[in-house]
A and B are shown apart, each in its own frame.
Chain A
Amino acid sequence: MNSGQAPLANAAAPPASRPDADVHARLQASQYREAFALLLPRYRDKVFRLSFSMLRNHSLAEDATQDIFLRVWRALPGYNAQAALSTWIYAISKNACLSELRKRRPLVSMDADDEFDGELAALGSIDADDSATVSVTQLLEQLPERYRQAVTLFYMEDQSYEQTAALLDMPLGTVKAMLHRARKKLIELTRETASA
């Protein structure tokens, strides 16, 4: 075992030199449990936010996140490090959420948007003092799905373009352009509702 590796106690802080080098070292030594113990706290919240941005429901996203990490655990011995660990985990996450959406769509298609609106309202205390405009959740509701997901992740990830781009597996420039368009659209919608 490489003596320069970070100890398990520092699981949330990957070495700066190469992302997830400590996880890769454990995987090469077939220490899957140890590798998993490092990656779980590191990716738990990101996967959860990504799931929430797609499923739009807190408890569904939490259940999906559990399932995703079980899939990661099962697939870990087969991970060949051709893609970055984060890309691999996010790809598993997106596939799992898409499966979940496909499974649920026939049942909840009519209510999904209302549920999302309610979920967002429950997540943050929205200032309702501006009676001239509708709530931001209603405005978000009117954005195309891709923009809405990008906006959701951007604000949940501390307004980091890099993190949002990594989670969506999109180039940084694309994410910036999407968020610019989303903001402009939100402002347009604000004006439209104010003038209506």
Chain B
Amino acid sequence: MTPMSPTESHDFDWSEQLLSWLDGDLDAAAAAAFTAHSAGCPRCQQQLRTLAALDVKLQAALPRISLDENFDHAVYARIDAMDESQRRAARQRAEQELQDNLRSLSSSWRRTLGLVIPGVIAGIALALALTGFLNDAGVAQATAQGAQGLGSALAGTLPLLLTGLVGATIGGIVARWLIAE
């Protein structure tokens, strides 16, 4: 290993001390030792002058750049534009959702009516068939005789009411079954 030259040896011993002294990082004893050394050391004095010159040049080359309030205005303008576009997108989404819901509701109603009407018609047809069967079996005559005891007007409409009631019930059951399908 090559031995250090006197200059290298000096720098090894004092260079870090010099920088720390400049930064004010040395304790009182170390600072006093460096000050005593540098007072009689041309190399340290030269380094201090070089560092001071470097410092001045770096300060000049790297000024404390800053931004002003115009920058803030530009940032807020972009934020407001961003927020407005987000609000617009949210409004569009809500409107689209509403339209979708309305469309879905309307199509649901159409589907329901489309199934209920045939269901009720089918129910009435079944009820009429049932009434015919009951007439043939003599049950209707027995019912009419029973109704005559309640009044002549009711006796005429009771079979019709019963047919309607049975038809609607069967129609409702059929329609519900069709909707569930």
In the complex, what residue of chain A is closest to B72 when comparing beta carbons? A40
* In the complex with contacts A48-B66, A120-B61, A156-B65, A183-B72 CB distance below 8 A: no
A152: nearest residue on chain B (CB-CB)? Answer: B62
Of A40, A70, A136, A176, the contact of B57 (CB 8 Å cutoff) = A136
Expressed in whole angstroms, the minimum distance between the Cβ of B13 and any Cβ of chain A is 14
Contacts of B20 in A (CB 8 A): 180
For residue B58, give the distance in angstroms from its CB to the closest CB of chain A.
Answer: 5
Min Cβ gap A5→B in Å is: 21
Chain B residues positioned under 8 Å from A41 (CB to CB): 72
Given A45-B66, A158-B64; A183-B54 close (CB under 8 Å): yes
Q: How far is the CA of A126 from the CA of B57 in the complex (A)?
A: 7
Does B79 make an interface contact (CB < 8 A)? yes
Q: How near does chain A come to B176, taking the closest CB pair, in angstroms? A: 48
Instruction: Say what secondary structure dominates the interface of chain A.
Output: helix
Q: Decide if the interface of chain B is mainly helix, strand, loop or mixed.
A: helix
The reply on A80 being an interface residue by CB < 8 A is: no
The residue in chain B whose Cβ has the minimal distance to the Cβ of A184 is B15
* Contact in complex: B79, A127 (CB < 8 Å): no
Interface size on B, residues (CB 8 A): 30
A residues 98-150 in Cβ contact with B at 8 Å: 120-121, 123-127, 130, 135-137, 140
Confirm or deny: A187 has a beta carbon within 8 angstroms of a beta carbon on chain B: yes
- A66 proximal to B (CB < 8 A): yes
Q: Flag whether A93 is at the interface (Cβ < 8 A).
A: no
Across the A-B interface, the 9 shortest Cβ-Cβ residue pairs? A155-B62, A136-B57, A124-B60, A45-B66, A124-B61, A180-B19, A155-B58, A69-B75, A136-B61
Query: 11 extra interchain contacts, Cβ-Cβ under 8 A, other than A45-B66, A70-B75, A184-B15?
Result: A40-B72, A62-B67, A69-B75, A70-B78, A70-B79, A124-B59, A127-B60, A136-B54, A140-B58, A159-B59, A187-B51
**Chain A residues proximal to chain B, CB less than 8 Å:** 36, 40-41, 44-45, 48-49, 52, 58, 62, 65-66, 69-70, 73-74, 120-121, 123-127, 130, 135-137, 140, 151-152, 155-159, 161, 176, 180, 183-184, 186-187, 190
